[in-house]
Amino acid sequence: MNSNDKSTGLQQHITEAKRQVEICNACRYCEGYCAVFPAVNRQRSIIDSDLIQLANLCHNCQGCYHACQYVEPHEFRINLPRALADVRVKSWQQYSYPRWLADKFHHNGVAIVFALVTAIALLFALITAFKPEAGNGFYSVLSHSIMVALFGPAFIAPLIIIYMGLKDYWREINAGSLKMRHIRHALNNAATLKNLSGGQGQGCNFENGDRFSNKRRWLHQASMYGFLLCFASTSAATVMHYLLDLQAPYGAWSIPKLLGIPGGILLTLGCFGLAWLKRSATESLGATSVLGGEMAYTLLLGSTGATGLALYFATDTVWVPILLAIHLGTVLSLFLLMPYSKMMHVFFRLAALIRDAQQQNPENQPAR
């Protein structure tokens, strides 16, 4: 840890999480609940970097809380989902560049998203007033060269920032070199969202208290696979445009449309479903100070799918210019805010799963 931790409050949350984890490690009632508890039990002592790893390994299924005999009013005051959520959010802020922007977004996410989407949408609306001399489909409203000039840097720059944060995180948790078997193990857990069911297949306790439900897992899968399908659609269109000289717009049965339409539907339903589900969740079991930012980014992500679908169904109508401006404003805002939002959990949780796979197979791992 360094002096910058004081600015994010990370050390304070680590101290409280360590207190609770040490009690959990002595009790071990929840040993089979999810990947967090076996990871705790493997350690002879818990250090700060372990807490950051455990926090990013936690999926906040909340099963441990409802099974625990030491929650309030017991004097131990165990609330491990909340303790790890606080560390997790602060760790994302710690590994963001600049750190203050992540802190601002987590606390003022709704206002920032609304202002950024509105500003960028208005910018695109002004640009579309100067229609290109030639072009088909959306390119008759906004030229391909302008889209590339704006979205290229907006896509690459956030990925660079995320990479820098992941590199710092990897160094902080004392992880070893990447091996394919560890990556495969992590990807399998991520693809099935195993830990969103507490690792036992019964589901989360996220929205129904001590009752199990798989709704959160299904909605997360819809969001994840919807996003991946949309990304695959864009990638396919890029290949077709630059390598095959097949210009947009593409027909209804083309690869970009066959991937993008189902992807947009899944992304929209998944994200808005998660936002609705969050309203039923117990706020005290998560990082309460950043709920606005989490909700804002979930709705922003869902809006990229919804506005994309609206734009598709409005093809060849007078609504195309305004819907294109709104959709591009939403997508560009999504990219620009990615390093400072809950989207970071995708990257950090995958890294945590890889590190967990390393610790389960500890040969050739660095000394602590």
| Domain layout of the chain by residue ranges | 5-93, 95-360
Q: CA-CA distance, 265 to 346, in Å (whole number)?
A: 20
DSSP 3-state of 213:
strand
Higher-pLDDT residue of 351 and 175 is 351
Q: CA-CA distance, 165 to 303, in Å (whole number)?
A: 26
Higher-pLDDT residue of 256 and 44 is 256
DSSP 3-state of 298:
helix
User: Is 267 in contact with 222 (CB distance < 8 Å)?
Assistant: yes
What's the distance, CA 28 to chain centroid? 30
pLDDT tens-digit map of 256-285: 999 999 999 999 999 999 999 998 888 888
Mean pLDDT in residue range 70-80:
94
DSSP 8-class letter at 366: P
pLDDT at 160: 95
Q: CA-CA distance, 240 to 238, in Å (whole number)?
A: 5
Beta bridge partners of 260: none
pLDDT at 7: 47
pLDDT at 140: 56
pLDDT at 200: 63
Residues 6+ apart with CB under 8 A from 295: 109, 110, 275, 278
pLDDT tens-digit map of 285-340: 888 878 888 999 999 999 999 999 998 898 888 888 888 889 989 999 999 999 99
Q: C-alpha distances in angstroms, 221 versus 146, 190, 226, 267, 268?
A: 33, 10, 8, 9, 12
pLDDT tens-digit map of 89-143: 999 988 988 888 888 888 888 889 989 999 888 887 777 665 555 555 555 566 6
DSSP 3-state of 247:
coil
**With 60 as the cut, is the pLDDT of residue 20 above it?**
yes
Higher-pLDDT residue of 159 and 43 is 159
